[in-house]
Structure 1
Amino acid sequence: MYVNFGGFVPISTVDWRGRAACTVFLRGCPARCFYCHNVALQGGEDLRPVDEVVAMIRSSRPVAGAVVFSGGEPTLQGPALIRLAAAARGMGLSVGLHTNGIFPGVIEALLRERLVDMIALDIKTTWERYDDLIELTAADAVKRSLALCKEAKADGSLGTCEIVTTLFRGREGDLPTIAEAARGLDLVLQQGVTAGYVPLSRQEIEAAAAPLGQKVRIRTREDGEVGYDPEQNTSP
Structure 2
Amino acid sequence: MLAKLFISLVRVSPFFQKRVWKWWYQRLGKRAQDSGWTFMNYGYKNNRDKRIELDSKDEKDRMFIQLYNYVVSQISIESLKILEIGSGRGGGASFVAKYYKPLSIIGLDYSASAVALSNRLHKNVNNLSFIRGDAENLPFEDESFDVVINVESSHCYGNMQEFVSEVYRVISPGGYFSWADLRAKEMVLDTDKIFKNALFKCKSESDITSNVVSALDEIHEAKIQMIERHVPKTLRNAFMDFAGAKGSKIYNAFKKRDAVYLAKVFQK
Taking structure 2 as the reference length, what is the TM-score of the superposition?
0.33
Structure with higher strand content: 1
Higher helix share: 2
